[in-house]
A and B are shown apart, each in its own frame.
Chain A
Amino acid sequence: MPEEAVARLSGVTHRYGAVVALEEVDLEVRRGEVLAVLGPNGAGKTTAISLLLGSVAVQTGEATVFAQRPGAPEVRARRGAMLQISGVPETLTVGEHIDLFRAYYPAPVSASRLLAMAGLEGLERRRFGKLSGGQKQRVMFALALCGDPQLVFLDEPTAGLDVEARRGLWDEIRALSESGRTTVLTTHYLEEADALADRIVVLHRGRVIAEGSPATIKSHTAARRVRCVTGVHRDRVASLPGVVRSETRGRYLEILTARPEDLVRALLDLDPDLHDLTVVGAGLEEAFLALTRAPDASEPVS
């Protein structure tokens, strides 16, 4: 099988009491890719990961990893995970934690190589509780790699890190995919998904609302940023076709739209004196905003 899925959710619906965390979700992780599951808080990202890790039981639908049950011992041995806001006991050192986790796996990566992969050289004798936030995340990253996994789950790996620490961890994650491993990462940092992923799945309120390469996601929404100098008020612009957001920046009006041609036509009809017009492709962040705003945008304009 060429496009073999290493992990899959099929028709998964998951509820916490009355709250629906996932609804009819289909998700496929392909061999060797970096898949970003992108969405705001509460979108269902962690629930999706937890199902694939077998730490939460499937309620409706099916979850498989390496064509097996996610909690199966063979699966555990070939998979690594970094969980959201997860810590390990503070009184043990970095080296001790690595020593313990390596013991869990049949063919572990050497401790020195793990320290290098996670950028933790020189810290092995430091207690976990004495590390900075970025260093702690690197330890969690190293622990995810102890078993030389073919599939790595990173649940919001850079949450709470400063820009420098985040970019540092990105380098390690890139190196991970270059070594041929399949990586699934969740994030609500759009920049992160764009920078790291081969493919993005956008989750919103428990549903997959878009899927594809970062470029596809952008073209799919066709979000464009239209900038011009015009006498038309931005509140009037907000009711024009496909407008997601409009704001005044200095003397310019900036409009994010899914339908740039229709918008420009309408704008020129309204204001023949409109000038300094530019239309540029929107970044992923804007594409994402357009996607998650979709239900609102389709509401009738009063």
Chain B
Amino acid sequence: MTTATLARRGRIYVLEARYQFLMVLREPAFAIPTLLFPLIFYLFFGVVMGGRGFSVAAPTYMLATYSVFGVLGPSLFGFGAGLATERDSGALLLKRTTPMPAAAYLLAKVGMALTFGAAVVLGIFFIGAYGAGVMLYRWQWFALAGVVLAGVIPFCALGLAVGAWSKSRAAVAITNLVFLPMAMLSGLWIPITMFPAALQDFANVLPAYHHAQLALKVIAMDGGQGTALHVAVLAVQSIAFLVVAAVGFRRTESGAVSIRGGGMS
């Protein structure tokens, strides 16, 4: 490949990411809940209520879990609802007829989730450090941010699977049905240790639980399961989500079903 070709391909990735970001930033139904909800929730549950309700450590604990929540939202909605909408509107089909590399489209969405996630994490860190007096070692701040942002990998894979299988009209509702219960049952809103034992056991099947445990390990507040276990579960689940998504896409591209649900004229 010549340098010119490489530069041109690089430009596709950059523009695809830029416009993906602008597109959702201008969509209040996406931008407001994904950016503001985690910050407001953390401010309320972690900082205002935190001191009395749970323990003095609550703001620190929730700093990690609400950061995970902040990455979960844009990953799930960008892929779940966003992808389903672009597929059903025909925009994705149109792009697939152009020379656009499919990876540019997918990476743009991951990049968007990462950017939104990073903005939320920064906001939560700011509130935690200056509003709630959370004290961490410098390496812990960086490690926590890194671990939390790595969550875009399993969460985007999950979003992709949801988006591949849902119709655009239902996609937001379905994404919410995955997003909100999983956030709660993974202990992102209130500590998992306050749940009944059966629910604590159930949390082991949820990717957000394992990711939150990894984040909590950085600040030595996790439940004590091994790092390798969490990483392995997340890796296996990510691969499973990608396979489910691929089967969903193949279903529409094999010509076995009509491209747009409706007419096949």
Contact = CB atoms under 8 A, between A and B. Distances in A.
Interface of A: 14, 16-17, 19, 21, 39-47, 50, 53-59, 73, 76-77, 79, 81, 83-89, 91-92, 96, 99-101, 103-106, 127, 140, 143, 146-147
A106 B93 CA distance: 20
B202 interface: no
Interface stretch (B118-126, B219-227, B257-265): B257-265
Contacts of A88: 89, 91, 94
A253 B248 CA distance: 57
A70 to B, nearest CB: 9
Contact of A143 (B94, B254, B256): B94
B91 A104 contact: no
A198 to B, nearest CB: 23
Contacts of B19: 92, 96, 99-100
Contacts of A55: 93, 96-97, 253, 259
B94 A57 contact: no
A71 B19 CA distance: 25
- 3 closest residue pairs by CB, A with B: A86-B90, A91-B26, A56-B255
B27 A16 contact: no
B99 A100 contact: no
Interface stretch (B8-16, B138-146, B177-185): B8-16
Given A76-B98, A143-B94, A46 B263 contact: yes
25 contacts: A16-B256, A16-B257, A39-B265, A41-B265, A42-B263, A43-B265, A44-B264, A47-B265, A50-B259, A59-B255, A73-B99, A77-B99, A84-B265, A85-B90, A86-B89, A87-B89, A87-B90, A91-B24, A91-B27, A99-B15, A100-B15, A103-B8, A104-B12, A104-B100, A146-B98
A146 B90 CA distance: 18
B253 A57 contact: yes
Contact of B86 (A59, A89, A100, A105): A89
B91 A86 contact: yes
A6 to B, nearest CB: 16
B102 to A, nearest CB: 11
Contacts of A147: 98-99
Listed residue (A45, A89, A101) with the most chain B CB atoms within 10 angstroms of its CB = A89
Given A86-B93, A106-B8, 11 more contacts: A14-B255, A41-B265, A46-B264, A55-B93, A55-B253, A55-B259, A56-B253, A83-B90, A83-B94, A89-B89, A103-B8
Nearest to B82: A89
Nearest to A203: B265
A47 B264 contact: yes
B239 interface: no
A16 B89 contact: no
B231 interface: no
Contacts, number: 112
B205 interface: no
Contacts of B22: 91-92, 96
B173 interface: no
Nearest to B27: A91
Contacts of B232: none
Given A41-B263, A83-B90, A101 B97 contact: no
Contacts of B94: 81, 83, 86, 88, 140, 143
A103 B104 CA distance: 12
A88 B87 CA distance: 10
B23 interface: yes
A84 B26 CA distance: 26
A214 to B, nearest CB: 21
Contacts of A16: 255-258, 264
A217 to B, nearest CB: 20
Contacts of B24: 91
A147 B99 CA distance: 9
Nearest to A53: B97
Contact of A44 (B23, B96, B253, B265): B265
A88 B93 CA distance: 10
Given A83-B94, A89-B86, A91-B22, A105 B99 contact: yes
A79 B97 contact: yes
Interface string B223-243: 000000000000000000000
A133 to B, nearest CB: 14
A57 B251 CA distance: 11
A187 to B, nearest CB: 11
Given A16-B264, A42-B265, A91 B23 contact: yes
A53 B254 CA distance: 13
A208 to B, nearest CB: 15
